[in-house]
């Protein structure tokens, strides 16, 4: 388990084998978060950018 903090609400998260660019959900606020870096039992998260549909426009 690796510890992380939600950048939106500050909740502590326990992540099992996180991977860069993985999207995880905060159990407290429901925000979708992207894993942006992994360093010795520390994970940096940012709020995931939701891309809209591209209908060829």
Does 54 reside within a domain?
A: no
Task: Give pLDDT, residue 56.
Answer: 67
Mean pLDDT of 37-41: 84
Does 52 reside within a domain?
A: no
Tell me how many domains the chain contains: 1
The domain of 42 spans 2-47
Angle at 29 between CA 28 and CA 33, to 5 degrees: 100
Instruction: Give the percent of the chain with pLDDT over 90.
Output: 63
Least confident window among 2-11, 16-25, 39-48: 39-48
Does 39 reside within a domain?
A: yes
- For the chain, the straight-line distance linking the first and the last C-alpha, in angstroms and rounded, comes to 43
Does 57 reside within a domain?
A: no
């Amino acid at each position: 388990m690796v510890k992380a903090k939600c950048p939106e609400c500050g909740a502590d998260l326990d992540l099992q084998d996180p991977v860069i660019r993985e999207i995880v959900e905060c159990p407290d606020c429901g925000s979708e978060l992207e894993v942006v870096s992994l360093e010795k039992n520390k994970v940096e998260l940012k709020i995931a950018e939701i891309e809209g549909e591209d209908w060829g426009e």
